[in-house]
Amino acid sequence: MTLGVKRIGDVQREVRKARGKGLRIGLVPTMGALHEGHASLIRAARAECGYVAVSLFVNPTQFGPGEDLARYPRPIQNDLAVCRREGADLVFAPAAAEMYPEGFATTVRIAGLSEKMCGAFRPGHFDGVCTVVAKLLAIVQPDAAYFGEKDAQQLAIVRRMAADLNLPLEIRGCPLVREPDGLAMSSRNAYLSPEERQQALAISAALADTRKAIESGERDAAAVADMLRRRLQAARGVELQYVAVVDPDTLADLDRIGGQALVAVAAKVGATRLIDNVLLRDL
């Protein structure tokens, strides 16, 4: 087990050894502050791969001005303990200068998909995500990379990038992990005061009811969006940013719900921006 590797060259050397042994390589990219959602990705990788690399990197290029880059939690010792417990083989925790040295000039941008939903509220965010994910994939060259359905738009964009660039790996989506009371797990939940945390439950509760409505036969996407929007606009302490009812692969707005659907929400609770969604398949 090689934990807390800081240099790209060291990662490449370790991974090369593992590949030389014929092991399937899995990569779990994260920003650290690991919780059960992240742990579930490491376990999924562990189940399918002989060698599991986890990256911990609070990627500056995916934060906009005025966002929480400086105060994003970085509990590195705890993160390493989680990686050890879940059986990761390598943890890559680079400094920003290792990833973006002097003269760095490349941006990977997936047009269209990156501009709607969260992209409309966080301009440039997904360019930063795609650039860092492309770099991590190039460094580790995994056979499979693991992403959470919690960030459903990110997953769709990364899938698009992998397909468009013929990246020779599988992108695996893993189910959204929730707290026992329904709140979607997120490193940013740590920002919530006890009162805000209670208020935030309105989001997961409204989405759970939305899932029930669709599973009971509601097929009108506009009706679903209206119901959810009205409910969240009425929720105390919740400042809704968007409600989207889209195809989970193309992120195209749905008119009629059928086959598969992603119902996604972003809202601020106090100063904290939260996202959540329900993903329906085989409708």
**Which residues of the chain form contacts with ligand AMP (CB under 6 A)?**
30-31, 37-38, 40-41, 147-148, 150-151, 174, 176-177, 184-187
Judged by CB, which is closer to ligand AMP: 32, or 257?
A: 32
Q: Please state the closest distance from residue 257 (CB atom) to ligand AMP, in A.
A: 23
Judged by CB, which is closer to ligand AMP: 159, or 219?
A: 159
**Nearest residue (beta carbon) to ligand AMP:** 148
Q: Please state the closest distance from residue 35 (CB atom) to ligand AMP, in A.
A: 7
Q: How far apart are CA 157 and CA 107, in angstroms?
A: 14
Q: Please state the closest distance from residue 103 (CB atom) to ligand AMP, in A.
A: 26
Judged by CB, which is closer to ligand AMP: 37, or 94?
A: 37
Judged by CB, which is closer to ligand AMP: 174, or 240?
A: 174
Q: Please state the closest distance from residue 182 (CB atom) to ligand AMP, in A.
A: 11
Residue 108: name the closest of 68, 69, 65, 138 by CA. 138
Judged by CB, which is closer to ligand AMP: 61, or 186?
A: 186
Please report, as a single letter, which amino acid is at residue 38. H
DSSP track, the chain:
-EEEE--HHHHHHHHHHHHHTTPPEEEEEE-S---HHHHHHHHHHHHH-SEEEEEE---GGGSPTTSSTTTS---HHHHHHHHHHTT-SEEE---HHHHS-TT-------TTTTTSTHHHHSTTHHHHHHHHHHHHHHHH--SEEEEEGGGHHHHHHHHHHHHHTT-SSEEEEEPPPB-TTSPBP-GGGGG--HHHHHHHHHHHHHHHHHHHHHHTT--BHHHHHHHHHHHHHTSTTEEEEEEEEE-TTT-PBPSB--S-EEEEEEEEETTEEEEEEEEE---
Q: Please state the closest distance from residue 148 (CB atom) to ligand AMP, in A.
A: 2
Q: Is 38 a catalytic residue?
A: yes
Of the candidates 15, 38, 129, 225, the residue annotated as catalytic is: 38
What is the set of active-site residues? 38
